[in-house]
Amino acid sequence: MNNEIEISPVYKSLTLEIEALTKEYSILWEERDRLINQTKPVLLVKYNLEIGQYILGYLNKHVYLLQLKRKIELLQIHINQNKPIEMKEIEKILDEEFREWIEKVSSLEREVRFARNSSFELVNEEKFKQVQEIYRKLVRQLHPDLNKELTDNQKILWNRIQEAYKNLDLEELTNLEILANGTNTVSEFSSLDVLTKRKESLWNKLQDLTNSLTAVKQSFPLSLEQELNDPNWLNKEVEVYQNKIKEIETILPEYEKMYQSILYQLYGAMGEHPENL
């Protein structure tokens, strides 16, 4: 008499499908993490070194010109209306009106400075493959989307695993793999209904992750990865901002002269030196 339990073809099929979905999820999750934590920072540094510094130069001149035009406009309004001029009040108005512009310039300035001071070490390909393999395995074991009933210790372990992967710390990941294996529990024999729901849940989560991964790939600067490796494209982008800077430098003297003229007009009217206005 054969005492072996015969597993139905449907059960086998569902089990294999769940295993395949789980594996696919771990691959896509690892790719998403790699793009966000490793590829994106490198591309951002490259972008700011190659193009960002020229955009910064353009924005500084552009904002200066806009502020100068607005200052001339405000001063002229006061003169036309014969109102007393409070330069501190005018400067306050300019600060408020150009707050977003100034924050944008300051943010880019920090990014360019960071890029100039950054250095990324090339990761050994063999080491990266080991990191990738271990991480994908641990995703299958401990990712909350794939494992509903994680213990508090397993959740803490998962957070440590993500941090180790972010830093490409092979030694730490190896140690965490040992710890993760020690937390595994024997899964109970599931019914077909449970497996079916599990498959449907995994499929939905996989679709969400696929959409998320697509959005990540389309975000800046990942959307420009190919262009950033094209010297011709880089040169054209740099030329665009160099030309914009030249355009501003061409018209800027006219406005500076206009501003000085207004200052001298006020100097004669107010009896104060223009530099004190």
- The pLDDT of 166-184, averaged and rounded, is 87
Do 75 and 166 share a domain, yes or no? no
Do 157 and 22 share a domain, yes or no? no
What percentage of the chain exceeds 70 in pLDDT?
Answer: 90
Tens of pLDDT, residue by residue over 109-150, are 999 999 999 876 667 889 999 999 999 999 999 999 998 888
Q: Does 200 fall in a domain?
A: no
Do 62 and 74 share a domain, yes or no? yes
* pTM of the complete model: 0.81
Q: In whole angstroms, give the CA distance from residue 256 to residue 65.
A: 9
Radius of gyration for the alpha carbons in the chain, expressed in angstroms and rounded: 30
Do 22 and 106 share a domain, yes or no? yes
Do 99 and 133 share a domain, yes or no? no
Do 116 and 146 share a domain, yes or no? no
pLDDT confidence of residue 217: 97
CA distances (Å), 118 to each of 30, 37, 86, 167, 182, in order? Answer: 24, 15, 45, 15, 39
Q: Does 207 fall in a domain?
A: no
Angle, CA of 223, 227 and 232, to the nearest 5°: 165
pLDDT confidence of residue 258: 93
Q: In whole angstroms, give the CA distance from residue 53 to residue 50.
A: 7
The total number of structural domains in the chain stands at 2
Tens of pLDDT, residue by residue over 72-119, are 999 998 888 888 888 888 999 999 999 999 999 999 999 999 999 987
pLDDT confidence of residue 42: 92
Q: Which domain holds residue 132?
A: 124-183
Tens of pLDDT, residue by residue over 196-213, are 998 999 999 999 999 999
pLDDT beyond 90 at 39: yes
Cα atoms found within 13 Å of the Cα of residue 4, Cβ hemisphere only:
4
